[in-house]
């Protein structure tokens, strides 16, 4: 898979002390990166929380440990922290940016696997080692496949959004099970993940504002 362009986060320059909080030094941002590693980190931070809260955690990670590049118009660009940087963090440091302690450990362990070269997030062959890490399950590697490697058939069937979506569209009167989500999207293979993303985008407001669905038995 071709790697996607690296995207930095732009912030207006503040005091000179801002950079002192980052272990890395000011550097020139390269044109490409292993987007799979970024998606792996993002998938772990998104576990069991709202997307808005996960995005805020990811911004804090970037601001705290991302390398800096001075851009035009007095802007400071911050890149995503590397696997090596995250691998050297203490769990308490990641918990301090609002990442749950168990997931902080999972992120550090995954980063160590990547930094040591034992896992290439861009290669599905590494999923087995990731799944051996506590707090990393099928949902995480399916998100990695869909959003990190661009695998159109990777469907995060355990996602709460899909569970509510299929429960509503399927007329179940309750939340769907993972098996029911997979059955619902089976006709769209080999593009189940892509189809699911489009359907979820179309109905996400209805899901958020609709009546709550009871849990599956």
Q: Which two tokens stand for residue 57?
A: 């955690």
pLDDT in tens, 118-130: 999 999 999 999 9
Alpha-carbon Rg for the chain in angstroms: 19
Mean pLDDT of 61-80: 85
**pTM for the model:** 0.76
Q: Would you say 67 and 86 are in contact if contact means Cβ atoms under 8 Å apart? A: no
What fold, for 9-148?
Answer: Endonuclease III; domain 1 (1.10.340)
Residue with more model confidence, 185 or 52: 185
Q: Residues 45, 57: contact at Cβ < 8 Å?
A: yes
> In the chain, what percentage of residues exceed pLDDT 70?
81
> For residue range 84-111, what is the model confidence (pLDDT) as tens digits?
999 999 999 999 999 999 999 999 999 9
Annotated domain spans of the chain = 9-148, 160-209
Rounded to the nearest integer, the mean pLDDT of the chain is 82
- Does residue 2 surpass a pLDDT of 50? no
pLDDT category, 211, cuts 50, 70, 90? low
139 Cβ partners below 8 Å, 6+ apart?
Answer: 43, 47, 156, 157, 158, 159
Respond yes or no on whether the N-terminal peptide bond of residue 190 is cis (omega within 30° of 0).
yes
Tens digits of per-residue pLDDT, 128-173? 999 999 999 999 999 999 988 999 999 999 998 899 999 999 899 8
């Amino acid at each position: 898979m071709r790697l996607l362009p690296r995207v930095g986060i732009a912030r207006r320059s503040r005091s000179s002390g801002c950079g002192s909080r980052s272990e890395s030094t000011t550097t020139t941002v390269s044109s490409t990166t292993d987007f799979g590693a970024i998606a792996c980190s993002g998938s772990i931070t998104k576990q069991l929380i709202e997307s808005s809260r996960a995005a805020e955690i990811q911004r804090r990670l970037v601001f705290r440990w991302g390398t800096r590049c001075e851009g035009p118009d007095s802007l400071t660009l911050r890149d995503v922290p590397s696997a090596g940087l995250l691998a050297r963090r203490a769990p308490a440091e990641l918990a301090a940016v609002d990442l749950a302690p168990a997931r902080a450990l999972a992120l550090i362990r995954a980063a160590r696997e990547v930094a040591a070269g034992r896992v290439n997030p861009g290669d599905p062959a590494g999923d087995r080692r990731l799944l051996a890490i506590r707090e990393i399950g099928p949902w995480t590697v399916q998100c990695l496949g869909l959003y990190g490697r661009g695998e159109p058939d990777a469907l995060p069937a355990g996602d709460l959004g899909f569970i509510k979506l299929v429960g509503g569209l399927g007329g179940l009167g309750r939340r769907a099970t993972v098996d029911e989500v997979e059955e619902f999207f089976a006709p769209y293979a080999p593009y189940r993940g892509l189809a699911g993303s489009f359907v979820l985008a179309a109905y996400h407001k209805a899901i958020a504002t609709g009546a709550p669905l009871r849990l599956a038995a």
